[in-house]
Structure 1
Amino acid sequence: MPGPEQQLTVGGGPGRLEDGADVIVVGAGPAGSTAAYHLARTGLDVLLLEKSAFPREKVCGDGLTPRVVRQLTDMGVDVSEEAGWLHNRGLRLVSGRHRLELDWPELSAYPGFGLVRRRADFDELLARRAEAAGARLIERANVAGPLVDERSGRIIGVTARLGDRKQPVEYRAPLVVAADGNSTRLSLAMKRYRRTDRAMGVAYRTYFTTPRHDDRYLEAWLDLRDPGNPERRVVPGYAWVFGMGDGTANIGLGVLDTAAVAGELDWRELLRSWCAGLPPEYGYTPEAVTEPVRGSALPMGLNRRPHYADGLLLVGDAGGTVSPATGEGIAYAMESGRYAAETIVQALARRTDHGRELALYAYPQALRSAYDGYFALGRLAARVLARPRLLGPAGALGLSSPALLRAVFRLMVNLTEPNSRDALDRLLHALGKVAPSGR
């Protein structure tokens, strides 16, 4: 495996050789910062490049499940309420006139509580945590493309432009982690294309002042309807209201399969129309809205592959790790960043190029083992919700069934105990392992 000290013939534009590292991580979102943290704490020289300057905004629901809590505590983050986190007890599912509050399960691998934190704070906290572990964080470093060894086709670094002056520089490393989000210019330049057979979703959100800002349950409304066809169209997704504990709530919608919605919908208008129908106790009015409606794409179901080849690993949104069942992205972004870091550490400990390369292919295997079955179930659930006729005449009634909603909850949050005595828990865990991945 070529090292940063080797003189290689490279492609790319002119630039000043700025620095070398053991690993370059492009993007300091949850996936990139988690990867950089776990790499740096082993003593590797890690360069973490972020195109923006912190704090910076990202579209998100701001609700964090126990899967995220586990990753945070493993990184030594103080998740107490005194440290600025709002704890929540579980998820409230709303369907029609029915409401069901479901607490997070207390499992051997996950705690029994979730969190809420604004992404502007959350992302910077993770980036600073990686920096404290030894990663060299460079903000306002806009990566323009890869440096490629023309003989082998391997990535050996990146080109970037720094600051307001867009100063061109080159950074070199034998391994690069693409954590640059859904647009992932780096992955595209290395010919990692999105799979068209995997659904793409969207999320739109805003904030509004509400007396329910300190609600201890995340709230998901399952009967999200197109206001143009309120009697016959259920949009394949859900709306949410997550109290922030600061006088406001994050309110938004996630559409899990945009291709399944016949015709074009104005997602911003759909959110505004849905908000207008909230019960009076939420206090929603257009005047209560504190920020513009913003949206982003949801790359789901491991929709960009290969996740490792030619020295480049894809993590988080760059690798399409968003859950097709819920649109949850942060937990799987952080987990994929950790899987990538652990794989790299093992690979760099090998004594030969061949051994290192073999070890690196453990990363996509880890992703498939962890997510293929669960994501396959998520895609199936999204297809059913996208086609109300499949639910039959009892569809609306079924969505209001407490027993069914409990099963939906287990599927949505992906929190199961393999050796549980609970029959539903064991069933969902087993299904998640054997569901066909369609890889």
Structure 2
Amino acid sequence: MREHLHDVVVVGGGPAGLAVALGCARAGMDVVVCERRAGVIDKACGEGLMPGAVRALAALGIDPPGHPIEGITYRQGTTVAHAAFRTDPGRGVRRTVLHDALRAEVDRQGVPVLPATVTDLAQHSDHVRTGRLRARYLVAADGLHSTVRELAGLAKTGTARSANGPRWGLRRHYAIAPFTDTVEVTWAARSEAYVTPVGPETVGVAILSSVRGGFSEQLAAFPDLAARIAEAEPVTPVRGAGPLRQRTASRVAGRVLFVGDAAGYVDALTGEGLALSLTTAAELVRCLAAGRPADYERAWKRTSRRSRWLTEALLWTRGRPALAPRIVPVAARAPRLFSVVVDQLAR
């Protein structure tokens, strides 16, 4: 008996992969998800959903609980720059809560999620195979260090690093009532700390840095923040991710398509990762539904262009010792310019 041919196999059960699975199911496609990790999936993440991400989730029928986010605040010493979102608020949402909401909807749609590890990939003229699964297309949503990207031969090596070298992220949650209704970004010499309210009694603290070190060591670069949370109880273990920048030669390799961090990643500096994953996932589904998978590369570039350019520009400035200390002062002295930039990030 000939093996069943699915329309789509999605590798990776994070937000990007589950968003693709939902979109495909609602478009009438036969889709299955492969995710080797059991239970609710957590990840080192700033957890601040930009307004665009909230809207993208709503389009999928997802409305996860969290804490409203009204804008972005930059801090450097006594200098403060603030910009409110011009339209809808964003939302601070625990990554586990977001995964729970997406997975529940995937289950309601009847999409199978298999506890499978992908270790092989073979493409044919009319299908792709991994393990015992056959599908017309395979979507790789397996994260920064994508196994499928390696199997497809699309990983790019070379100078895939920022001017300060590779960057890494750490995150921990604290039991403390939110002391801000924005995502607060505090700038130090070679790192940034992100404070995101994610519930009535919980804040997340994420640190991005070009210097390797433990969470306590990294937090020491932010004495004001460290003092503010000194009496708060840590309620989650430290999670890490990196190196953050990952390059890929293309988002389409025959019948294999890439989405989320697996499609290539610049940096978490602007906090747009989830929004970009969700919007590009919608573009991928649209291309598959139209029977034009090759169009996805152009759609991905168009959809991600603004985010990539803004992140690259800010990261380039961040890596110049003469310019980096001026980022927050310029934002504070030019609030209209800062508001325009934040508005671009919020879309």
Q: TM-score, normalised by structure 1?
A: 0.71
**CA separation in 2, counterparts of 1:330 and 1:416?**
12
Q: Deviations over 1:323-361 (max 9, x none)?
A: 5652531111111211111111111xxxxxxxxxxx222
Q: Which residue does 2:152 correspond to in 1?
A: 190
Quick check: 1:361 aligned with 2:294? yes
Quick check: 1:92 aligned with 2:73? yes
Residue number among 382, 385, 394 corresponding to 2:315 in the alignment: 382
The amino acid of 2:195's aligned partner reads V
Residue number among 105, 125, 128 corresponding to 1:156 in the alignment: 128
Q: Which residue does 1:142 correspond to in 2?
A: 117
Structure-2 change in CA distance of 1:368 and 1:197 (3 Å):
farther
**CA separation in 2, counterparts of 1:344 and 1:209?**
44
Quick check: 1:177 aligned with 2:110? no
Structure-2 change in CA distance of 1:147 and 1:399 (3 Å):
same
Residue number among 38, 41, 59 corresponding to 1:56 in the alignment: 41
Q: Which residue does 1:244 correspond to in 2?
A: 198
The amino acid of 1:96's aligned partner reads G
Q: Tell me the number of residue pairs that the alignment of Structure 1 and Structure 2 aligns.
A: 343
Q: Which residue does 2:255 correspond to in 1?
A: 311
SS at match of 2:138: strand
SS at match of 2:119: strand
Structure-2 change in CA distance of 1:100 and 1:323 (3 Å):
same
Q: Which residue does 1:117 correspond to in 2?
A: 93
Structure-2 change in CA distance of 1:25 and 1:97 (3 Å):
same
**CA separation in 1, counterparts of 2:5 and 2:327?**
60
Q: Which residue does 1:72 correspond to in 2?
A: 57
1:214 CA displacement: 6.3
1:275 CA displacement: 5.1
1:196 CA displacement: 3.3
**CA separation in 2, counterparts of 1:313 and 1:397?**
37
Q: Which residue does 1:402 correspond to in 2?
A: 332
Structure-2 change in CA distance of 1:78 and 1:384 (3 Å):
closer
The amino acid of 1:213's aligned partner reads P
Quick check: 1:411 aligned with 2:341? yes
Q: Which residue does 1:24 correspond to in 2?
A: 9
Q: Which residue does 1:326 correspond to in 2?
A: 270
Pairing 1:251-400 to 2, within 5 Å after superposition: 251-255=205-209, 258=210, 265-266=212-213, 268-274=215-221, 276-278=223-225, 280=227, 282-285=228-231, 288-297=233-242, 299-300=244-245, 303-321=247-265, 325-347=269-291, 359-390=292-323, 395-396=325-326, 399=329
* 8 Å contact kept, 1:127–1:137: no
Structure-2 change in CA distance of 1:380 and 1:89 (3 Å):
closer
Structure-2 change in CA distance of 1:279 and 1:172 (3 Å):
closer
* 8 Å contact kept, 1:54–1:124: no
SS at match of 1:337: helix
Who wins on radius of gyration, i.e. which is larger?
1
Which shifted more, 21-30 or 365-374? Answer: 365-374
Structure-2 change in CA distance of 1:29 and 1:292 (3 Å):
same
Q: Which residue does 1:33 correspond to in 2?
A: 18
The amino acid of 2:121's aligned partner reads P
**CA separation in 2, counterparts of 1:341 and 1:179?**
13
Structure-2 change in CA distance of 1:406 and 1:95 (3 Å):
farther
Structure 1 stretches of 5 or more lacking a match? 8-16, 107-111, 160-169, 225-233, 259-263, 348-358, 418-439
Structure-2 change in CA distance of 1:98 and 1:367 (3 Å):
same
Please tell me the root mean square deviation across aligned C-alpha atoms, in Å: 2.7
1:396 CA displacement: 4.3
**CA separation in 2, counterparts of 1:338 and 1:299?**
23
Q: Deviations over 1:391-419 (max 9, x none)?
A: 6xxx44862652446534543563478xx
Structure-2 change in CA distance of 1:308 and 1:119 (3 Å):
same
SS at match of 1:69: helix
Residue number among 215, 224, 229 corresponding to 2:180 in the alignment: 215
Structure-2 change in CA distance of 1:204 and 1:145 (3 Å):
same
* 8 Å contact kept, 1:254–1:327: no
The amino acid of 1:105's aligned partner reads R
The answer to which structure, 1 or 2, has the higher relative contact order (CA under 8 A, 6+ apart) is 2
* Residue identity (%): 22
SS at match of 1:55: coil
1:268 CA displacement: 3.0
The amino acid of 1:196's aligned partner reads G
Structure-2 change in CA distance of 1:413 and 1:196 (3 Å):
farther
The amino acid of 1:243's aligned partner reads P
Structure 1 stretches of 4+ moved >4 Å: 321-325, 395-398
